[in-house]
């Protein structure tokens, strides 16, 4: 890869792998305001990119030249998805939906979720839990002014948000995934329910409904682990594409880490400040996370499919935790 032409061909092919969804050539047309033929000429290296075109491509696709040329082994480029006044919770949900749809469209994708908290996809199939989690995040984490003096109720979350949450679950349920839970994975949501009850954001009846939904959630995830597939919560119907593997790790998990693999492509998502996301396709970083996950799996117990004894022990422990929680709070 010595000539400018060769470097450009490799650069554009590399950029294309950073954003596998969509039609790359059509995006180049729009981004650079050129014809389809001109876009293909740049892809083939027949027409060299200008500095301004390289800048536009790098910014639009989040493709770091440092990473491409391997100029800094100690620097990793992350793309942030940060909630603020210009990017609200509804925008966040739409971006999550777009991400899982992109993953679901390619059967080669596989997701691994190292879970400090129960992956939110699971909450989204239970309308009450979905509504509560959305309310809690918006009121206490994002501190949305419109909710600061509100108590929890059926109308505090819009139907549009609930519909998107349900669609996220409906898409996620068809994606092959592996999850790693610890004894602490359920605690964050229990603490959120406890806080809401003790600060009068939820009533006694709402408290009981949420706790019952947590129990139902554990029941269906137990069944999914037994079957090795995700299931519809209403009729326990086994889903065709939603292969599901669950592992139990006795060591507390420090944060939520999501790892995607598709052939030779890798992507990592890390959460920060509860809802904000950082993602990267940096090769060295993704390899490091992949090795980290392999190490965790070596120290974890599989509780899917035939691992009946370990699965029953784990979910018995989780249900006991919910029972003790309810007794303590009530």
Q: State which of 22, 42, 69 marks the end of a domain.
A: 69
Query: Is residue 272 domain-shared with residue 156, that is, in the same domain?
Result: yes
* 312 part of a folded domain: yes
- Bridge-based pairing state of the strands 238-248 and 265-272: unpaired
The total of other beta-carbon atoms located within 10 Å of residue 210's CB is 23
Query: Is residue 189 domain-shared with residue 89, that is, in the same domain?
Result: yes
How far, in Å, are 76, 99, 103, 111 from residue 108 at the CA level?
Answer: 26, 15, 9, 10
Q: State which of 25, 49, 69 marks the end of a domain.
A: 69
* 25 part of a folded domain: yes
Query: Is residue 85 domain-shared with residue 37, that is, in the same domain?
Result: no
* 74 part of a folded domain: no
Query: Is residue 51 domain-shared with residue 95, that is, in the same domain?
Result: no
Q: What is residue 310's predicted lDDT score, i.e. its pLDDT?
A: 92
pLDDT tens for the chain, 330 residues long, are 567 888 888 888 878 776 655 578 888 888 898 988 988 888 888 888 888 888 888 878 777 676 666 655 666 767 777 777 667 889 889 988 888 887 887 777 889 999 999 999 999 989 899 999 999 999 998 888 889 888 998 888 999 999 999 999 989 988 889 999 999 999 999 999 999 999 999 999 999 999 999 999 999 999 999 999 888 766 555 556 688 999 999 887 888 999 988 777 788 888 887 788 888 887 888 889 999 999 999 999 999 887 889 999 999 999 999 999 999 887
* 227 part of a folded domain: yes
Q: What is residue 261's predicted lDDT score, i.e. its pLDDT?
A: 86
Q: State which of 48, 69, 90 marks the end of a domain.
A: 69
* 217 part of a folded domain: yes
- Bridge-based pairing state of the strands 257-262 and 238-248: unpaired
Query: Is residue 215 domain-shared with residue 114, that is, in the same domain?
Result: yes
* 187 part of a folded domain: yes
Query: Is residue 148 domain-shared with residue 293, that is, in the same domain?
Result: yes
Query: Is residue 33 domain-shared with residue 122, that is, in the same domain?
Result: no
* 188 part of a folded domain: yes
Q: What long-range pairs does 262-267 form, CB within 8 A, spacing at least 24?
A: 262/20, 262/106, 262/108, 262/109, 262/110, 263/108, 265/17, 265/20, 266/290
Q: What is residue 8's predicted lDDT score, i.e. its pLDDT?
A: 81
Query: Is residue 289 domain-shared with residue 250, that is, in the same domain?
Result: yes
- Lookup: tokens for 326: 């309810």
Query: Is residue 58 domain-shared with residue 90, that is, in the same domain?
Result: no
Q: What is residue 76's predicted lDDT score, i.e. its pLDDT?
A: 72
CA distance 262 to 16: 14
* 139 part of a folded domain: yes
Query: Is residue 161 domain-shared with residue 226, that is, in the same domain?
Result: yes
Q: How many domains does the chain have?
A: 2
Q: What is residue 179's predicted lDDT score, i.e. its pLDDT?
A: 96
Query: Is residue 83 domain-shared with residue 65, that is, in the same domain?
Result: no
> What are φ and ψ of residue 270, in 5° steps?
-125, 140
Residue 22 sits in a domain whose CATH number is 1.10.260
- Lookup: tokens for 298: 């070596």
Instruction: Tell me which residue range forms the domain holding 129.
Output: 79-329
Query: Is residue 90 domain-shared with residue 59, that is, in the same domain?
Result: no
């Amino acid at each position: 890869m010595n000539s400018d032409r060769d470097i450009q061909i490799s650069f554009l092919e590399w950029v294309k792998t950073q954003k596998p969804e969509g039609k790359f050539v059509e995006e180049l047309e729009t981004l650079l305001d050129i014809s389809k033929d001109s876009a293909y000429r740049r892809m083939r290296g027949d027409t060299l990119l200008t500095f301004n075109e390289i800048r536009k491509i790098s910014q639009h696709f989040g493709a770091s030249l440092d990473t491409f040329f391997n100029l800094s082994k100690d620097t990793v480029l992350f793309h942030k998805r940060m909630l603020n006044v210009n990017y609200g919770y509804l925008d966040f949900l739409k971006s999550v939906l777009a991400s899982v749809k992109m993953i679901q469209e390619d059967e080669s994708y596989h997701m691994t979720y190292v879970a400090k908290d129960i992956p939110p996809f699971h909450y989204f199939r239970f309308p009450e839990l979905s509504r509560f989690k959305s309310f809690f995040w918006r009121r206490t984490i994002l501190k949305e002014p419109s909710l600061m003096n509100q108590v929890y109720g059926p109308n505090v979350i819009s139907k549009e948000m609930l519909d998107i949450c349900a669609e996220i679950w409906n898409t996620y349920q068809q994606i092959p995934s592996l999850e790693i839970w610890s004894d602490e994975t359920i605690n964050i949501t229990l603490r959120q329910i406890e806080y809401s009850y003790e600060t009068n954001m939820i009533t006694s009846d709402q408290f009981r409904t949420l706790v019952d939904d947590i129990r139902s959630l554990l029941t269906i995830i137990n069944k999914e682990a037994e079957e090795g597939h995700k299931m519809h919560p209403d009729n326990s119907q086994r889903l065709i594409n939603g292969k599901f593997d669950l592992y139990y790790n006795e060591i507390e998990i420090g944060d939520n880490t999501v790892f995607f693999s598709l052939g030779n492509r890798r992507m990592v998502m890390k959460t920060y400040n509860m809802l904000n996301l950082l993602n990267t396709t940096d090769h060295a970083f993704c390899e490091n996370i992949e090795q980290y996950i392999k190490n965790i799996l070596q120290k974890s117990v599989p509780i899917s499919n035939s691992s009946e004894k370990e699965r029953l022990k784990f979910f018995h422990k989780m249900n006991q935790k919910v029972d003790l929680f309810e007794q303590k709070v009530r």
